[in-house]
Structure 1
Amino acid sequence: MNVRQQALSNPVGLWWRMLTLVSGANIVFWFLLYRQFHDRVPEAAGTSSSQTGAMLLLSAAYVFGCAFRSVLPRADVQRICLVDSFLSSVLVGRSVATVAELCFAAQWAIILGQLGHVAGAETAVNATLVILPLIVIAELCSWYAVLTTNFLFNAIENSLWAVTFLIVGIGLGRLLPEFDGLVFWLLVVGIVGIACYLAFLVVIDVPMYLSRWRAGLLKGSRYLHPLEGLRDTATRWIVTHEFDHWKDEIAWMSLYFSAAVWASLALCALSSFDDHLLRYRAQAAVATPARLTPLHALPLDHAPPQPQADSL
């Protein structure tokens, strides 16, 4: 019996199979989106077509990156994996994850900017300025955690993700009264999803990493020097199918490789609405001007007409 068959015979193997099937379905759905939109991207002129093409590429990086990590699962700091291969090493897996996560963050920045400009909502537009910088810092913390095996920086990383998506949620909330119809309900789904994600981070994920960090302190664990850790990430991986080794990873990986990928695909589809977003503007928002120009600021040719004296 080979390694794959052995893995599929226990609970971890069933979970692994589920991840693989979901990732395969996600790839199929991405290709359906690509087929739907790619014909009009080169033919149509303007910003909207190039933006849709960019969103397709960013989504591809995230969808295929998560599929790669689903087929070859690993836990970075613990150096555990399910497949005995260099592709299961933390060096490879973390590199793929970094590119994918930066692309996912860029998708959120693009969609918030797109909707914010259409709605004239400065809160949403300004939120786009901090999304990528925060995630870049989070990725640096993640790399420091896996190189040194210090779980504290995983906690900081996920705290930064929480702050980022709190800002995204505020931006989406500001857009909520500006749209109706399908876009309104997509915004509602996005806000609810972000609220659930934040609850998971605050209640489960960040405390898990903090408890691991405290346990390491009590044991007197030695942290690796970053250069020593870089070599370790490329040369050491521990193959294990024991449920006890994976039980704390199953929840976040399952959500990450399913719901988060669906969000990426949904953002890609929503971006393609660009030419039709005005249809979904709330009537009250359209009727109320975002900003009134004072009379003294009007040009001379727009000055109000002066009353004329009655002719005799």
Structure 2
Amino acid sequence: MMTLTVAEWRTLLSTVAVFNILAWLLATALLQRRRAALGDELFLMRRWQLLLSAGYVFGCAYRSFLPVFDVPRLVLVDSWMSSVLMGRSVATLAELCFVAQWALMLREVSRATGSRVGHITSFWIVPLIAVAETCSWYSVLTTANIGHVLEESIWGLCAGLLVLSLVAIWPRCSPRQRPLLAAWCAAGVVYVAFMFMVDVPMYWTRWLADELAGRTYLSLSQGWIDVAGRWVVSHRQEDWQGEMLWMSAYFSVAVWMSIALVHAPVHRPAPQALR
């Protein structure tokens, strides 16, 4: 990311967004072709996956075309559509759709394998992420990064719960499906490590710096007015450098995972789990 200019980075994000939309449309066509093979009940579950994926894919595409750096109110396009209010609203809806996908998939796998741990986790992760989104809005409105510290910590916690649930499900899955489960676990471990070793410390450092500088934060009511009507256009490399890496990964790899969940293999219990 450090080798890209801001203009090149935005072009990259936009190109990936178009690719992601095309990939989602292809996933839609493939799901329809698989309807008979899946059966009515499983097809209904995967159709929900498809609809939730649409929320995430198109939400991320919107944010790719109109990047926003929330707390300092920085944008690349001078338009109300780039406002923090619009960007954060789209992000909230998209992220809730994404975590709902994981909850549905975990519930599907847990039902197939009889895992109580996975079943319980599938009910908790969406409410937890709703709390995380509330913390995010607090930071965005007040400009106090402590809300982002809590938000990212909850995301890391939920990813950790997903990994633990998959580990609990492991003995109950057939050997053919364990490589996929292992890949999900590995991705989850990497994500948790990134959140607690990079993301959370970054926001914690920003908050401490603001506290030491005696920064005056906005009230919630002031924040609503501010995010709706104020945005600062900037194309300076130093303003966006800290956001480029995570946005690039978030709007590409995470979106591909969302689309892949629509066509995830049907899980079957291991032979010993049937006895």
Q: Is the pair's TM-score, using the shorter chain for normalization, greater than 0.5?
A: yes
Identity of aligned pairs, percent? 41
Name which of 142, 152, 163 aligns with 1:158: 152
RMSD of aligned residue pairs (Cα, Å) = 1.9
| Equivalent residues of 2:47, 2:262 under 8 A apart | no
Residue 124 in structure 1 maps to residue 112 in structure 2: no
1:16 shift after superposition: 1.4
C-alpha distance in 1 between matches for 2:176 and 2:24: 21
Mark the runs of 5 or more structure 2 residues left unpaired by the alignment.
none
Matches for 1:58-73 after TM superposition, within 5 Å: 58-73=52-67
1:283 maps to which of 251, 255, 271? 271
Asked whether 1:236 is paired with 2:230, we answer yes
Q: Report deviation, 1:72.
A: 0.6
Q: CA deviation at 1:204?
A: 1.0
User: After TM superposition, what 4+ stretches of structure 1 lie above 6 angstroms from structure 2?
Assistant: 42-45
Contact 1:107 1:267 in 2 (8 A): yes
Residue 84 of structure 2 is matched in structure 1 by 90
Unpaired runs of 5+ in structure 1? 1-9, 290-312
Q: Deviations over 1:122-150 (max 9, x none)?
A: 11111112101100100000011100001
Per the alignment, do residues 181 and 23 of structure 1 end up closer, same or farther by CA in structure 2, a change over 3 Å counting?
A: farther
* TM-score normalised by L of structure 2: 0.94
What displacement does 1:152 show? 0.6
1:169 is matched with 163
2:101 to 97, 107, 132: 107
Residues in 2 aligned to 1:199 and 1:43: alpha-carbon distance in whole angstroms: 38
Q: Partners of 1:28 and 1:193 in 2: how far apart? A: 24
In 2, Cα distance between the equivalents of 1:61 and 1:247?
27
Shift of 1:164: 0.7
Aligned length: 273
Deviations 1:17-69 (A, max 9, x none): 22111121111111111011135659986322221111100000001100110
1:122 partner amino acid:
R
TM-score normalised over the length of structure 1: 0.83
Rate the CA distance shift 1:207–1:183 in 2: closer, same or farther, 3 A. Answer: same
